[in-house]
Structure 1
Amino acid sequence: MKKALALILLFFCLSNFSYSQGKFVVQNKKRSDKIRFKFINNLIIIPVEINGVELSFLLDTGVSKPIIFNFLNVSDTLKIKDTEKIYLRGLGEGESVEALRSKNNVFRIGDAIKLNQDLYAVYDTNLNFAPRLGVPVHGILGFDLFKDLVVEMNYSHKYIRLTESEKYRYKDCKKCERFNLEFYNNKPYINSKVKIKNKQIPVKLLIDSGGSDALWLFEDDTLGIVSNKKYFEDFLGHGLSGSVYGKRSKIDEFSLKSFVLKRANVAYPDSTSISHARKFKGRNGSLAGNILKRFNVIMDYRNALVTFKKNGYYHEKFSYNKSGIELAHNGVRFVKERENYISDNNLSNETNQNGTKIVFDARYKFSLKPAYEIVELRIDSPAYRAGLKNGDVVLSINGKPAHHYTLQEIMYMFYDDDGKRIRLKVDRDDVILNYTFQLEDFFK
């Protein structure tokens, strides 16, 4: 009897082991787990453990493969093996990038674990999101997680919930809208509508949680998807194959059934940057973070469903960078800081009731602080006309040292109200310069 029981237990363990090898499994009694995330520039950054190493990944519905970027000694640190060289292609004007495909990696996200996950390591030093976001980001994860689990992205409370499909139960929600998903190359698409020049146009959009903009549309005269006369050329972001540029503008409305967002931001990427994306002929653009964040979203790939429920961000005004400056964290710089040192000696003019003399002695220390560099500058923007240049390192903003702010806090200042005055002190090739400009609302 004991031998038979032992064999049954062995079979049960082996069955569970085999099952967890092929997919993400939530290893707790509830078969569900909540994971807090960092919310940076409309993007979700989640903690991911790979082969026992804790990293930070961008949660991106727009990628079909987990990719790790610019991680030194990745083969040794993550103990990856069974590698083969491949080439990956994505958005941008450049060529395909070289990567190493590794098999049999152990991924853990909270209580969710997968034992034989493929991983694609890209060694191109230009593909590094951390400088633009100001926080460590080691890679991107998408389809492999979403296909196995129901993923709730709660933007308002900054957490995701991972639940095994068999255990997930939908709640009645009169204020929700649910859509069927379509898939192409393991990426989710949704049918929605845009209103351009007072014309309602049905569009098929990639749901792209890895994009920080609101909406990208691919211009198509035959469908009426064209920018209006009020637009400006701008840097739109980075793809796997390089930088993406295009037009920024506004549309009359964007609709998800009963949810209607007016005067939403839109970008029209140039044709060379999206040649790879347009291989799917039915695609009209992307639905990205600045709209997704206005909802709490349930992604259910198993049943090909997505559910939207509006949250506290829903009525937030659509804004954009009114300065023309894009900053990035570019290493560190030595900063001389004053610190007050209190001591007893005969040099002070201050004497307390006990006759003790106290001197406040100004002393200084040198510290390493983050350096914020201008990496993109929109032509004819307020900052451009003021004389700022790419490569300038920002030392202070409105009289306060730049290192007292996070990168995102500085960037948020550039989204402020029309007419807001910005004073920048910059280091340009070891020459200290001062500039002043006012934010301008191009669409006002």
Structure 2
Amino acid sequence: MKKTTLLLFFLFLSCYFYGQKGFGFYGVNEKRQEVRFKFVNNLIVFPLTINGKELSFVLDTGVNKTILFSLLASDSLGINNVERAALRGLGNGRPVEALLSRNNTFRIKNMTSNDQTLYVILEDKFDLSSKMGVTIHGIIGYNLFRHVIVKIDYNKRKLVFYNPRYFEPEDCKKCETFPLTFHRNKPYIDAKVQLDDTDKDLIDVRLLVDSGGSDALWLFENSKETIKPPTKFFNDVLGEGLSGTIYGKRSRISRFVLGGYRIQKPTVSYLDTLSSFNARKYKARHGSLGGNILKRFKVWIDYPNKRMILKKAGSFKSGFNYNMSGITVVYNGKTLVKEAEQSEIKLYGGSNSQTSSMDQLNFVTSYRYVFRPVYKIANIVPGSPADEAGLKAGDIFMSINSQPAFKYDLEHIFGLFQERDNKRIWVKVKRGIEVLKFKFRLRKEI
């Protein structure tokens, strides 16, 4: 009888665990899992294990497919049931070739799924790792969110995955719940915008909830009669999509309203028609809500119950900055750098000494060679301060503001170019065999 009971229990456990589609929790009593993440350029990067190999993925509510960028990573994954496919996303280029693989095993701590579909891009023109300065193997969205509830704590850099069977919303008087609508497995939220101080009325908009977008807001010109091109803007490279570079106009709007939350003067990007062609196929969509707004909240994303819960956790008044240099910087591998190793001699003075009881001398005794990061210019916006100074795409940074470029990480460089209007920037670059020096000032256009 005891053996029969144990057998039934394990059969029930097996059915609960393996019978689910999407991610499930080990055991019937697992209620939640916590995972730390890196926050880079308003994007969430966290560890995801695929077929036994731990990789780094971007958590992206704006995608309905799981995509691996690098075939080098897939070589050791043993991906299953492979066939050819094509993917198309934002950008004005052609679809990208990919391999479609089914029945892969994904794991996040004690959450796992054995039925995951994975797209592997054959030629990684997207190259997200070089643009972010950290290794990123892919992006995941709907396939993770569809059977769990996810809390994003941007301040603590922590993800909490809840088993929907046991999830109870926090007793939170300052929280607000928003319904989500779905189209092609992507979540949309309804909000309001005031484009200009002279506008009397707020415009209703439907926005893709896009944790994989680093901007605050995107809007599609003329997606509504009242969404007109901005009067004050500058042309900019807004990012990279699966189908190529995304271009558009960078501007500000007067106000963004989401339920009871009111955000003044956020930045906004208006995508050009070619870059947003595929996104515009969903006629009810007017743009995207991105990481530069989401990071100001604690966010509960609840696909099973078609809702999102927000609690204010950051300032609405500051931080809507943008790159004022016109330079798109990317990581460009590593180089060997000769560094001095210093030794110390401690000198002890007597009681009558006028020096301190212990002085210290530092001197170079040897050198070592270490690998340090290299950064290059991927794009220059025409008419920008960097363009006017004479910098060009392909230039390799040697120093920035008198500091060797390798002493910065990419996030620090992003911040430097967003710091303040009229800030002076000195750079030394290598162009071919030439070493050139330039200086310019950051310029606030909007």
**Shared fold (TM-score, shorter chain, > 0.5):** yes
Q: Shift in Å at residue 66 of structure 1? A: 0.7
Q: CA deviation at 1:222?
A: 5.0
C-alpha displacement of 1:2: 4.8
One-letter amino acid matched to 1:395: M
Cα shift at 1:171 = 2.2
Pairwise CA distance, 1:10: 4.7
Relative distance call for 1:85 and 1:181 in structure 2 (3 A) is: same
Q: Hey, what's the Cα distance between the residues in 2 that align with 1:10 and 1:312?
A: 46
Q: How many Å separate the matches in 2 of 1:169 and 1:359?
A: 59
1:37, CA displacement in angstroms? 0.5
Quick check: 1:378 aligned with 2:377?
Answer: no
Q: CA deviation at 1:361?
A: 4.6
Partner Cα distance (1:258, 1:17) in 2:
40
Pair 307,3 (structure 1): closer, same or farther in 2 beyond 3 Å: closer
For 1:321 and 1:6, locate their aligned partners in 2 and report how far apart those are by CA, in whole Å.
Answer: 62
Cα separation, partners in 2 of 1:342 and 1:175, compared to 1, 3 Å = closer
**Closer, same or farther: CA 229–30 of 1 in aligned 2, 3 Å:** same
Q: How does 1:315-330 map to 2 (within 5 A)?
A: 315-330=317-332
Q: Deviations over 1:278-330 (max 9, x none)?
A: 11010000001111111111111111111111112443331111111110001
CA distance in 2, matches of 1:250, 1:6: 63
Cα separation, 1, equivalents of 2:6 and 2:306: 41
DSSP-derived class of the 1:72 partner: helix
User: Counterpart of 2:190 in structure 1: which amino acid?
Assistant: N
1:308 maps to: 310
Aligned to 2:125: 126
Q: Counterpart in 2 of 1:12?
A: 12
Shift of 1:14: 3.4
List per-residue Cα deviations over 1:116-154 (Å, max 9, x = no partner).
211111121212200000001000010011110011111
Matches within 5 A, 1:210-249: 210-220=212-222, 222-249=224-251
SS in 2 for 1:237: strand
Contact 1:335 1:369 in 2 (8 A): yes
Contact persistence 2:216–2:267 (CA under 8 A): yes
Contact 1:196 1:224 in 2 (8 A): no
Runs of at least 5 residues in structure 2 that lack an aligned partner in the other structure? 346-360
TM-aligned CA deviation for residue 18 of structure 1:
2.9
8 Å CA contact 1:294–1:311 kept in 2: the answer is yes
State the partner residue of 2:351: none
2:194–2:203: 8 Å Cα contact kept in structure 1? Answer: yes
Contact 2:206 2:286 in 1 (8 A): yes
Deviation at 1:69, TM superposition (A): 0.4
Q: Are the equivalent residues in 2 in contact too, given 1:177–1:307 (CA < 8 A)? A: yes
d(CA) in 2 for partners of 1:222, 1:333: 50
Q: Distance in 1 between matches of 2:316 and 2:223?
A: 31
- Give the letter aligned to residue 67 of structure 2: I
Aligned residue in 2 for 1:52: 52
Q: State how 1:9-48 maps to structure 2 within 5 Å.
A: 9-20=9-20, 22-27=21-26, 29-48=29-48
Tell me if structure 1 keeps the 8 A contact 2:79–2:101.
yes
Task: Name the stretch that deviates more: 359-368 or 100-109.
Answer: 359-368
- The residue that corresponds to 1:396 in the other structure is 399
| Paired amino acid for 1:317 | G
Give the Cα separation in 1 of the matches to 2:301 and 2:366. 56
Cα distance, 1:13 vs structure 2: 4.0
| Amino acid aligned to 1:214 | A
Match of 2:348 in 1: none
Counterpart amino acid of residue 336 in structure 1? K
- Verify: 1:78 aligned to 2:81, yes or no: no
Q: 1:428 to 1:178 in 2, by over 3 A?
A: same
Give me the whole-angstrom Cα distance separating, in 1, the residues matched to 2:186 and 2:223: 26
Whether the aligned pair in 2 keeps the contact of 1:181 and 1:304 (CA below 8 Å) is yes
The answer to whether 1:437 aligns with 2:440 is: yes
- How far, CA to CA, are the matches of 2:301 and 2:380 in structure 1? 36
AA at the equivalent of 2:69:
F
The aligned counterpart of 2:61 is 61
The answer to whether the 8 A contact 1:70-1:127 is kept is no
Shift in CA distance, 292/6, structure 1 to aligned 2, threshold 3 Å: closer
CA deviation after TM superposition for structure 1 residue 81, in Å = 1.6
8 Å CA contact retained: 1:56, 1:136: yes
Tell me the SS of whatever aligns to 1:291: helix
Partner of 2:176: 177
Give the secondary structure class of the aligned counterpart of 2:71. coil
Query: Can you list the C-alpha shifts for 1:211-257, whole angstroms capped at 9, x where unaligned?
Result: 10110000017522123221011001111111100000010101101
Structure 1 window deviating more from structure 2 (374-383 vs 309-318): it is 309-318
Matched residue count: 429
2:140 and 2:30 map into 1 onto residues whose CA distance is 24
- Displacement of 1:73 in angstroms is 5.7
Q: How do residues 420-435 of structure 1 correspond to structure 2 at under 5 angstroms?
A: 420-435=423-438
Aligned to 1:100: 99
Cα distance in 2 between the residues matched to 1:213 and 1:383: 21
| TM-score, normalization by structure 2 | 0.92
Q: CA deviation at 1:12?
A: 2.2
Q: Which amino acid aligns with 1:374?
A: I
Aligned residue among 258, 261, 272 for 2:260 = 258
What displacement does 1:7 show? 4.0
Distance 1:389 1:107 in 2: 42
1:105 CA drift (Å): 1.1
Structure 2: which amino acid aligns with 1:305? R
Once the 2 structures are TM-superposed, how far is the Cα of residue 45 of structure 1 from its aligned partner? 0.5
Distance 1:202 1:41 in 2: 28
What residue in structure 1 maps to residue 354 of structure 2? none
**In structure 2, C-alpha distance between the alignment counterparts of 1:178 and 1:435, rounded to whole Å:** 50
TM-superposed CA distance for 1:38, in Å, is 0.3
For the pair 1:209 / 2:211, whether they are aligned, the reply is: yes
- Taking a change above 3 Å as real, the CA distance of residues 409 and 359 of structure 1, as seen in their structure-2 partners, is closer
3-state SS of 1:171 partner: coil
Deviation at 1:364, TM superposition (A): 3.5
- Render the CA deviation track for 1:19-69: whole Å, top value 9, x for unaligned: 24x221122644201111000000000110111101000000010011100
Contact 2:133 2:410 in 1 (8 A): yes
**2:108 is equivalent to residue 109 of structure 1:** yes
Alpha-carbon deviation of 1:431?
Answer: 1.2
Partners of 1:361 and 1:2 lie apart in 2 by 74
* Secondary structure at the counterpart of residue 61 of structure 1: coil
What residue identity is the alignment partner of 1:410?
Answer: I
One-letter identity of the residue aligned with 2:97: E
Shift of 1:363: 4.1
